Structure 1
Amino acid sequence: MKFVVKKSSNGEFRFNLVASNGQVVATSEGYKQKASAMNTIASIQKSAGGATVDDQTNA
Protein backbone atom coordinates (compact mmCIF):
# COMPACT_ATOMS: atom_id res chain seq x y z
CA MET A 1 0.00 0.00 0.00
CA LYS A 2 1.08 3.57 -0.49
CA PHE A 3 -0.04 7.12 0.21
CA VAL A 4 -0.48 9.38 -2.82
CA VAL A 5 -0.45 13.12 -2.06
CA LYS A 6 -2.03 15.55 -4.51
CA LYS A 7 -2.91 19.23 -4.64
CA SER A 8 -6.53 19.81 -5.61
CA SER A 9 -7.86 22.55 -7.87
CA ASN A 10 -8.84 24.64 -4.83
CA GLY A 11 -5.24 24.58 -3.57
CA GLU A 12 -5.80 22.07 -0.77
CA PHE A 13 -3.65 19.01 -0.23
CA ARG A 14 -5.30 15.58 -0.04
CA PHE A 15 -3.99 12.07 0.08
CA ASN A 16 -5.30 8.70 -0.96
CA LEU A 17 -4.32 5.39 0.54
CA VAL A 18 -3.88 3.14 -2.49
CA ALA A 19 -3.77 -0.66 -2.44
CA SER A 20 -1.17 -2.62 -4.38
CA ASN A 21 -3.77 -3.26 -7.11
CA GLY A 22 -4.18 0.51 -7.62
CA GLN A 23 -7.56 0.80 -5.91
CA VAL A 24 -8.11 3.77 -3.59
CA VAL A 25 -9.13 2.44 -0.17
CA ALA A 26 -9.23 5.74 1.74
CA THR A 27 -9.25 9.47 0.96
CA SER A 28 -8.33 12.26 3.35
CA GLU A 29 -9.98 15.55 4.05
CA GLY A 30 -8.45 18.66 2.46
CA TYR A 31 -5.51 20.35 4.20
CA LYS A 32 -4.47 23.95 3.59
CA GLN A 33 -0.83 23.12 4.36
CA LYS A 34 1.06 20.21 2.82
CA ALA A 35 2.83 19.69 6.15
CA SER A 36 -0.51 18.98 7.81
CA ALA A 37 -1.29 16.25 5.28
CA MET A 38 2.18 14.78 5.70
CA ASN A 39 1.85 14.84 9.51
CA THR A 40 -1.44 12.96 9.27
CA ILE A 41 0.17 10.36 7.03
CA ALA A 42 3.01 9.94 9.54
CA SER A 43 0.50 9.54 12.35
CA ILE A 44 -1.42 6.86 10.44
CA GLN A 45 1.79 5.02 9.59
CA LYS A 46 2.84 5.06 13.24
CA SER A 47 -0.38 4.05 14.94
CA ALA A 48 -2.83 2.38 12.55
CA GLY A 49 -1.08 -0.98 12.48
CA GLY A 50 -2.72 -1.94 15.74
CA ALA A 51 -6.11 -0.43 14.98
CA THR A 52 -9.10 -2.44 16.18
CA VAL A 53 -12.42 -2.92 14.40
CA ASP A 54 -15.58 -1.51 15.99
CA ASP A 55 -18.37 -3.33 14.14
CA GLN A 56 -21.59 -1.45 14.84
CA THR A 57 -23.71 -3.25 12.28
CA ASN A 58 -25.46 -5.43 14.88
CA ALA A 59 -24.99 -8.38 12.56
Structure 2
Amino acid sequence: MNIEIDYPKCIGAGQCVLEAPDVFDQDDDGIVVLLDEDPAPHAAAVRSAAHACPARAIVVDREEP
Protein backbone atom coordinates (compact mmCIF):
# COMPACT_ATOMS: atom_id res chain seq x y z
CA MET A 1 0.00 0.00 0.00
CA ASN A 2 1.35 3.39 -1.01
CA ILE A 3 0.02 6.54 0.66
CA GLU A 4 0.57 9.91 -0.95
CA ILE A 5 -0.39 13.09 0.85
CA ASP A 6 -0.82 16.41 -0.93
CA TYR A 7 0.02 18.58 2.09
CA PRO A 8 -0.95 21.92 0.49
CA LYS A 9 -4.45 20.52 -0.12
CA CYS A 10 -4.97 19.52 3.53
CA ILE A 11 -7.54 21.75 5.25
CA GLY A 12 -7.19 20.21 8.71
CA ALA A 13 -10.65 18.64 8.88
CA GLY A 14 -9.26 15.69 10.86
CA GLN A 15 -11.39 13.02 9.22
CA CYS A 16 -8.28 10.97 8.51
CA VAL A 17 -7.42 10.87 12.21
CA LEU A 18 -10.96 9.83 13.10
CA GLU A 19 -10.92 7.02 10.54
CA ALA A 20 -7.35 5.75 11.04
CA PRO A 21 -5.78 7.09 14.25
CA ASP A 22 -2.98 4.51 14.14
CA VAL A 23 -1.85 5.85 10.78
CA PHE A 24 -2.67 9.57 10.76
CA ASP A 25 -2.32 12.47 13.19
CA GLN A 26 -2.36 16.25 12.88
CA ASP A 27 0.36 18.80 13.58
CA ASP A 28 -0.19 21.99 15.56
CA ASP A 29 -1.69 23.65 12.48
CA GLY A 30 -4.11 20.76 11.88
CA ILE A 31 -2.23 19.44 8.86
CA VAL A 32 -2.14 15.68 8.40
CA VAL A 33 0.88 13.75 9.66
CA LEU A 34 1.59 10.24 8.42
CA LEU A 35 2.51 8.07 11.41
CA ASP A 36 2.95 4.74 9.64
CA GLU A 37 4.31 4.47 6.11
CA ASP A 38 3.50 0.74 5.94
CA PRO A 39 -0.02 0.52 7.33
CA ALA A 40 -0.95 -2.86 5.83
CA PRO A 41 -2.80 -4.04 8.97
CA HIS A 42 -4.91 -0.88 8.78
CA ALA A 43 -5.57 -0.93 5.03
CA ALA A 44 -9.37 -0.67 5.28
CA ALA A 45 -9.16 2.24 7.71
CA VAL A 46 -6.62 4.03 5.51
CA ARG A 47 -8.87 3.71 2.47
CA SER A 48 -11.79 4.97 4.54
CA ALA A 49 -9.70 7.93 5.71
CA ALA A 50 -8.76 8.81 2.13
CA HIS A 51 -12.41 8.62 1.12
CA ALA A 52 -13.50 10.76 4.10
CA CYS A 53 -10.98 13.53 3.38
CA PRO A 54 -13.02 16.52 2.14
CA ALA A 55 -9.98 18.02 0.40
CA ARG A 56 -8.95 14.72 -1.23
CA ALA A 57 -5.44 15.29 0.12
CA ILE A 58 -4.83 11.56 0.70
CA VAL A 59 -4.36 9.14 -2.18
CA VAL A 60 -3.98 5.42 -1.56
CA ASP A 61 -2.58 3.05 -4.16
CA ARG A 62 -2.20 -0.66 -3.69
CA GLU A 63 1.31 -1.76 -4.49
CA GLU A 64 1.50 -4.69 -6.84
CA PRO A 65 3.55 -7.72 -5.67
Under a length normalisation based on structure 2, what TM-score does the superposition of the two structures give?
A: 0.29
Bigger fraction of residues in strand: 1
Q: Which of the pair has more CA radius of gyration?
A: 1
Bigger RCO of structures 1 and 2 (CA < 8 A, at least 6 apart): 2
